[in-house]
Each structure stands twice: as structure tokens, then as C-alpha cells.
Amino acid sequence: MTTKAPPGAFDPARHLEAMAPALGLTISEAQKPAVLQFIAIAHGMAQLVAAAPLADDSLELAPHFRPGLSGAER
Amino acid sequence: MDVFAPAHEIARRVRAGEFAAEAVVAAALARISSLDSRVNAFTDITSDRALATARAVDLARSRGEPLGPLAGVPFAAKNLFDIAGLPTRAGSRINRERQPASRDATLIERLGAAGAILLGGLNMGEYAYDFTGENAHDGPCRNPHDLARMAGGSSSGSGAATAAGFVPIALGSDTNGSIRVPGSLCGVFGLKPTYGRLPRTRSFPFCDSLDHLGPLARDVTDLALGYDLMQGADEGDPACAQRPTEPTLPQLKHGLSGLRIGVAGGYFSTETMPEADFATTAVAEALAASSRVEIAGAAIGRAAAFLITNAESSAFHLPRLRERADDFDPETRDRFLAGALLPAAWYVQAQRARRWFHDEMMRHFADVDLIVAPATPCPAPLIGQKILELRGETLPLRPSLGLFTQPISCVGLPVAVVPFGGGALPIGVQLIAAPWREDICLRAAKALQEMGVCRADRPAEPAMPG
């Protein structure tokens, strides 16, 4: 899983190296192969959702938040 | 008392005075004591509490007080439900250090108010991120139909405890298939209600956008009865809908009358999956399903569920991942670590795609009332199996067991999983309805049970003596 990605392609290893420190995560060498595998799977999933035919002027997220209501009023 | 008796029958006989609740509970505890070392369904057995509660039921009866619709019925809950006096471990090692819960989860309280008697907490995949039932801390939960095989997860103990005749009803959770996968592999009925139907109050979360709670049972009447008794809004769960209770039990007698039923095609094709194909075809024929429903976008729905789950759960566990990564089950830890690193844009796009796929699914329900689909690609794999051959591809087994369940829970549809036992091992089929129409799922499940097409078979001896 540590083979170098082609130029311009998503590279799970570079992504991990950049993101893990930002999140305060230390990912050991033993953990890396599986973590990289799961990042690659998630990237594949991200490509699938990117293909959803969504309008470029619409931002409708599935979850809704209703301010002003709490507890039993919700 | 037959330990495989349905819950509604147990309650009827306890109310009639034919059996003492204490005797029912003692028989269930004895069976668990003698056989659960083989299955590993329970992680905590609350014997003292159960026997004391049973004696209270018997005392109430002796005083002529009214008894609830589940009087004396044993049940158990996946160990992510709070059980007063126990730390809510949620399948993890880390959570065992939590303070004991001060109060039961709302759904446990509601079943208890109906007279049901909690026997304990059930094994599960760590933090519910699992389809196998394997657990590095508590050991694998084994399939009562073949102890060398997986129970399925993550509600592994819930599926196995009902299949093994330990309890007639168990509570589970389902984020991507965690009621339906063990229901399928263990050969029992299960209901994943509409997202927002049952309150999750005082249960340990996995993924707020997709977490559902629901029952598993060996009998459809029991499934409907237990589900009905757990309905109702609760202020402790922001996602719980403010809807009135909509009882399904009175609807069961209506059978298939007036229902338009279709079979899911395309993404849900069972080509090269002989057991799933046989089961789905048999159920579709029994239901006289007359149309094919091509669910375009199911792969996008599944991908959205994958990303939403990965991102939300990993962000939730981030402090634990920073400080105690080595205390996680390695099989879940590495997925959480990957999920913590996902770009925000992937998550936002997944929530947009989820909305889109929801609207796509709603269009299908203009034409059909119920959609039949496979639940799992295969019957129970062997414990330890890592790879699954699907449609000519070699795929990692863990995520692939949720291939057919994940798109459905992504958009919160109610689903009953029904067990088909035509082969050497059981396998389940999904009955999917429009939001808030659990009654339709359960009517069809009841019809299939009455036709003898779907039933929760007793595990064969000698692995699980009756």
C-alpha cells in the first residue's frame, strides 16, 4: 500500500502524512498499511458520491437543525 | 416451558398463572449458563436483577394487579444500551472504565414497563463498527447454527441469543445493517425501524446521522409487539421524531391485501450469490411480487453511508484514538484512524448525496408499497474469514457483508429482515417500505411466517441441544 501514486492522483500515504499531525494522531508503522487501505477505500467512496447528479446551485444536506427548540419541544 | 416459545405466548401463560415468571426466567438463565460458553452471546448476565424482577411480577399477579403485555418475558440488550449498574462497554475495552450507568436506556425501560425481564448485556463488535460479530476483547460471538461461523454484526449477541433460544426478544442497533446482518446470518427476524422512530436515549452512539435501534425476535408477532411497546417520542434523543405511537400489531392480520410489491434489481442483483438468490426469489414468489424496482443510485447511497459513518464515528472517537489507540480492537481501530483523516468536503458531499438518494427512493414508493431485496450476499462465513468472492471480485469481507443493507439505512427506510431456511444455513431477505410504514414490513413478514416460507429454525443438535 506504500507504492507511489501517479502524479496528480490521490496518494493515501501523502494524505496520511499531511493530515495525521493536524489531527494530533500518531499512526505507527504497524498501523499504516491497514489505515492506508481504508483511506483508499474511502477515496473510492468519495468518487462515487462526487458522481451524484446534484445541481451546482443547491446545498441540501440530509441532516436538519432546528434552532430554538430543545428537549420535549423538539 | 419450552425455551423456544414465543414471547406473546410466554406472557399469556404467565398472566394466566400457568407459569411463574420466576420459573420462566430461571429456565432461561439455566440454558444460558449451560450453553453460552459455546456461543458467547452474553457479556453480562444480570441474574439477581432478573430473578428479583420476576418475583415482583409473580407477586403482582398474586395480588390481582394487572400484568403487562410482556409479563415474565426474558429479553437482553446489545451492550451499547445503558444497563443500570454496569459500565456501557459498547464492545470496547476502553469503555469498561466508565462509571456504571445510573439508569437503563429508554427502550429497556419501556420493555420493562410492559413486564419484560432483562437478563443482561450482549456481545457486539467494538463501538458497533462491524459486520462479523468478532471482538478482540470479548471473543467472537458464534453462530448457533454452526459454532465455527460468524453470528454477524455488529448486534452479534442479539442475533445469536435469539437464535439459540436464550431469549425470545433482543435489542440491537443498526447503522449500516447491524440488525439485519446478524438477523440474516443467525436466521431470526429483525426490524430496523424508520430513522428517528425509536429513541436512542442512554445508548452509546456510533454515528448520529445513521444510528437506529430496534428489536430481533424468532416470531413476527413478538417483533411487532416489542416494537409497538417501544414507540413514542423521548426528549433525550434529538433525532427522535415527534410522532404519535402507530401500533403495528393490529395491522398484522391484514396480510398482503392491497400491497404492491416489487423486487429490487440492478445493484441488488444476486447473480453469483446462490443462497441469497434462492432466498430472495422464494420470498418474492411467495409475496407475488409483480414488478422489478431498479434502484439507480444505490451505489452512491452506500458510498454516502460509508463516508458519513467513517467521518462521524472517527471524529467522535478522536480523543480515544489520540490517547489510547492500542486499546482498540485492531480491526476497528484502523478504520477509525482512516476516518479521522477524511477531508470535510467528502463528508459534506456524502450528506448531499444522501439527500439526493433519499428523494430518488421516495419516487419508487409511488409505484410500490414494499421492496424485496437480499439482506446479505451469503450465509454466515467462517470465523476469521477475511475475504469474500463477489461477482468475480475478491473483496474484503468486513465491509462487503453490508453491501445490500447499507444503501437502505442510509436513507432511513424501515426494513424487516426475514429468515429463509431452505439451505444448510439460514440467510435473510429484506422487506423495505416507505418511511413510517413499519406496519407494511411487518405485515409481509407475518404473511411469510404463516406461509412457512420464513421461520426462525431451531439450531441443530448437538451444537445447541434443544
List of chain B residues whose C-beta atoms are within 8 Å of the C-beta of residue A44: 303
Query: ipTM of this complex > 0.90?
Result: yes
In a domain, B241, yes or no: no
In a domain, B463, yes or no: no
Integer Cα distance of B387 and B395 in angstroms: 6
- Beta pairing, strands B427-433 & B415-420: antiparallel
In a domain, A65, yes or no: no
Contact assessment for residue B133 and residue B141, using Cβ atoms and an 8 Å cutoff: yes
**pLDDT confidence bin for A67, thresholds 50/70/90:** confident
Whether B137 has its CB under 8 Å from any CB of chain A: the answer is: no
Q: How many residues does chain A have?
A: 74
Integer Cα distance of B232 and B114 in angstroms: 14
In a domain, B466, yes or no: no
CA distance A24 to chain B (A): 7
Question: Cell for B66?
Answer: 394487572
Closest by Cβ to B338, choosing from A38, A46, A74? A38
Q: How many domains does chain B have?
A: 1
A 23-52 near B (Cβ less than 8 A): 23-27, 31, 34-39, 41-42, 44-46, 48-52
Integer Cα distance of B197 and B411 in angstroms: 13
Tell me what pLDDT residue B317 has: 98
- Beta pairing, strands B370-374 & B427-433: antiparallel
CB–CB of B350 and A49 under 8 A?
yes
**pLDDT confidence bin for A1, thresholds 50/70/90:** very low
Give the mean model confidence (pLDDT) for residues B108-116.
98
Closest by Cβ to A74, choosing from B238, B330, B333? B238
Integer Cα distance of B461 and B390 in angstroms: 31
Contacting residues for B62 by C-beta, under 8 A, at least 6 apart? none
Tell me what pLDDT residue A7 has: 76
pLDDT at position B417 over 70: yes
In a domain, A71, yes or no: no
Q: How many domains does chain A have?
A: 1
Closest by Cβ to A25, choosing from B307, B340, B350? B340
Whether B357 has its CB under 8 Å from any CB of chain A: the answer is: yes
In a domain, B386, yes or no: yes
In a domain, B212, yes or no: yes
pLDDT at position A71 over 80: no
In a domain, A17, yes or no: yes
Cis ω for the linkage preceding B244 (within 30 of 0): no
CA distance B28 to chain A (A): 38
- Beta pairing, strands B393-396 & B387-390: antiparallel
Give the mean model confidence (pLDDT) for residues B433-455.
98
Nearest CA in chain B to A26: B322
B78 a catalytic residue: yes
pTM: predicted TM-score of the whole model, two decimal places: 0.97
B62 a catalytic residue: no
CATH number at residue B389: 3.90.1300.10
Domain containing A40: what range?
13-22+31-51
CA distance B38 to chain A (A): 31
B47 a catalytic residue: no
pLDDT at position B393 over 50: yes
List of chain A residues whose C-beta atoms are within 8 Å of the C-beta of residue B321: 25
Tell me what pLDDT residue A3 has: 57
- Beta pairing, strands B415-420 & B212-217: unpaired
In a domain, A70, yes or no: no
| pLDDT (tens digit per residue) in B355-369 | 999 999 999 999 999
Tell me what pLDDT residue B462 has: 59
List of chain B residues whose C-beta atoms are within 8 Å of the C-beta of residue A59: 352
Active-site option among B178, B184, B203, B314: B178
- Give, for B88, the enclosing helix (H) or strand (E): none
Give the mean model confidence (pLDDT) for residues B389-405.
93
Closest by Cβ to B322, choosing from A24, A48, A52? A24
**Residue of A27, A45, A60 best to disrupt the B interface, most CBs of B under 10 A:** A45
Whether B242 has its CB under 8 Å from any CB of chain A: the answer is: yes
Tell me what pLDDT residue B100 has: 98
CA distance A39 to chain B (A): 5
List of chain B residues whose C-beta atoms are within 8 Å of the C-beta of residue A74: 235, 238, 240, 242
| pLDDT (tens digit per residue) in B316-336 | 999 999 999 999 999 999 999
Domain containing B161: what range?
7-234+247-451
In a domain, A59, yes or no: no
pLDDT at position B238 over 60: yes
